[in-house]
Every structure is written in structure tokens, then in C-alpha cells.
Amino acid sequence: MNALPELKIAPHRESKITALKTLLADIEQNFAPAAFASSFGAEDMVLLDLIARHFKGIEIFTLDTGRLPPETLTLMQRTQTRYRINVTAYTPAPEAVQNYISSAGLNGFYESMAKRQGCCQIRKIEPLARALADKRAWLTGLRREQAPTRADLAESEFDAVHALTKFNPLIDWTNDDVWDYIRAHDVPYNTLHDRGYPSIGCEPCTRAVKPGEDARAGRWWWESTADQKECGLHTAASDFNAQATSSITKYASVAIKIIDKDIEKVIEKNIEKVRV
């Protein structure tokens, strides 16, 4: 694609962009095959812009849960057209989804955290395991500033669940850093951000935040435990195992059989990766 006109960006942020490019170059060269998991949020659009234009050796994928807002789906298509790239979409196992709906209801996740985690397990965590099965590294748009659950994250860490290196390249970026980059580089973004949605997930699980609320207050807004507002994609191995055995077992017995088979395949591949 043709280079887009770039406006001036604050000098102190230029150093962050330079460091980010250096890290992405290192990942592309030394951690292949590597993949970036994009949810098409503001942070992810910063990474996507750089990867699509300068680091094409890094794969870009997304988790299409089947419950995404139309604004996210529109941005997904617009992004692929704009950058002339293909973003691989991983979807949940149809049988697992149907069994969950049959046992818990289409929107059963409103009834308890266990049911919500069960839905996240089916629609997000299991598809992610498939996406990362043959990778050496994956990248996220996580930032420490986003939530208390992310305050102690490192720029890179070993992901024990998937047996590979996990990079959080924007870990020390601020919200202003992100939006300064988006404006300066004319990066497309989700229009929900203009309507009070700083964090965007599945449509029924996301609302606009109220003045003074935490940026992630709109995620799973019916739950009172603000310190646990994670879907499970970025939790430790022990938490992952707990969700896999408790949340789904209770509400989707057939679904867990389907997912267990996929996880077994992932574990076998991960064991081979560790041996190598």
C-alpha cells in the first residue's frame, strides 16, 4: 500500500515508537513463527499498523467469537482492505457453542461468573489454543495502565499454557501514547471508542463507561469483582486449568469433551516444542 502522510508526533513518544520497532524486528527475526492476536481495539490497531507496514513476517489473527459488535466486524474488513492483508479468524467449535446454549442459554453468562467464564472458554480460550499451536511467540496489545490485573505484566514472559514466549510490546504505553500514534499516523479505529467504549469485547458483554469509571468497567459490567475482569486469555496456567475444569464442566459437558481433544493436541505439540 502507498505510504500514508504522517503528522508530527511528540518527541518523547518517538523514542517509544523506535523502541517498539526494534522489538518487533527482533520478534520477526528471532521468534518465527510469531503471531499477533488482534481484537481491533485502539492498542491493537497501533501494533497492526506497524506490523502490516513494516513487519510482514509476523502473522496477524483474531478471535471471532460469534458475538462481536458490528462495529468491530466492520473495522476488521476495513483494515484488511486498507492494508491489503489477510487476518486469520479463529472461531469457536460449533458443537461446543450449541451445547453451551442448550445447557446455559444464549445469554446464560449473565447469571454467574462461572457461566461467563465457560462462555469465554469456548469462544476465546480454545480458539486461541488452536491459533498458537505451531507458534514460537505471540504478541498482545496489553498495557499496565489498562487494569489492576495487568499492573505487573512484563514486556516479555514465558506463556506456560501454550509453551511459547508472550510479548506485550505496548506494556508501558499510556492511553495518550496510543491515541497520539493513531491520530499522527491516520490509523483506522473502532467507532465505538468515540461513543464511550475504551475497552471493547463481545457485544452483549460490553457497555460504554460512565464518567469517572475505570476503563474496563464496561466489560462484564454486571459482575462486581473488578479485579477479576479477565476472559482467561491472559491468566496464568493454574487459572486456565481451573476455568477449564470448573466453568465448562458444570454448564457444557459435551463442549468440554470437544475442547479437551483440541487441548490434548495442543499439549502434545507444546511438549514437542519444549523438547526441541
Alpha carbon of residue 68 to chain centroid: 13
Q: Which residues fall within 8 angstroms of residue 196, CB to CB, at 6 or more apart?
A: 208, 209, 218
How far apart CA 128 and CA 111 sit, in angstroms, is 25
- Pick from 145, 173, 144, 176: which is nearest to 157 by CA? 144
Q: Is 202 a catalytic residue?
A: no
C-alpha–C-alpha distance, residues 161 and 238, integer Å: 9
Pairing assessment for the beta strands 59-63 and 34-37 based on DSSP bridges: parallel
Question: Among residues 119, 120, 205, 231, which one is catalytic?
Answer: 231
Whether 48 and 25 have beta carbons less than 8 Å apart is answered as: no
Three cell numbers written together for 262: 483440541
d(CA 226, CA 149): 9
**Hey, which residues are catalytic here?**
231
